[in-house]
């Protein structure tokens, strides 16, 4: 018997506590969030989805978001229109099932329907994240820049992927 993959669903207010917990388990790769900040970010999000009971989630912003992340602002300074992937997290017990790839593909489809032609993100270079670099390369992302942020505590590589018109 072949099981259907867990559905991709919009994030709702009821999901916030679980998202906060999953996010903060991975604060070193992402950033720590307080409940009020998460609520604000979700209100600004272009696309925020989850898989299953929270096997994974993604949160993105477009150029219109009122977001002050240095990484988001880097893209704002360089691109007129884009979708920025702020965070993607897959729960430890759900890894290896293709959840991140499914979320990205759904995002690409959603962004295309909204008229976007560029999806962007960043990956840590210090601390390094070679698995994320390889994953983004397989999705067609190309490096477009780098930066040292948070007072020199973190370095990142910026990526962009064109969505064919």
**Residue 150 pLDDT greater than 80, yes or no:** no
Q: For residue 108, say if its preceding peptide bond is cis, omega within 30 degrees of 0.
A: no
**Residue 82 pLDDT greater than 90, yes or no:** yes
Lowest mean pLDDT among 75-84, 106-115, 120-129, 155-164: 120-129
Average pLDDT in the chain: 93
What average pLDDT does the segment 88-94 reach? 93
To the question of domain 8-162 being in CATH 3.40.190.10, the answer is no
């Amino acid at each position: 018997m072949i099981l259907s993959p867990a559905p991709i669903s919009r994030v709702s207010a009821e999901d916030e506590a679980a998202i906060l917990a999953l996010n903060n388990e991975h604060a070193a790769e992402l950033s720590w969030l307080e409940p009020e900040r998460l609520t604000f970010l979700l209100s600004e999000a272009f696309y925020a989805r989850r898989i299953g009971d929270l096997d994974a989630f993604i949160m993105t912003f477009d150029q219109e978001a009122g977001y002050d992340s240095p990484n988001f602002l880097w893209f704002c300074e360089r691109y007129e229109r884009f979708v920025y992937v702020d965070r993607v997290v897959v729960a430890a017990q759900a890894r290896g099932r293709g959840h991140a790839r499914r979320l990205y593909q759904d995002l690409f489809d959603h962004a295309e329907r909204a008229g976007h032609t560029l999806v962007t993100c960043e990956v840590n270079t210090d601390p390094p994240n070679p698995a994320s670099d390889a994953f983004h390369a397989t999705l067609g992302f190309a490096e477009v820049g780098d930066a040292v942020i948070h007072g020199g505590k973190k370095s990142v590589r910026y990526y962009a992927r064109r969505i064919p018109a």
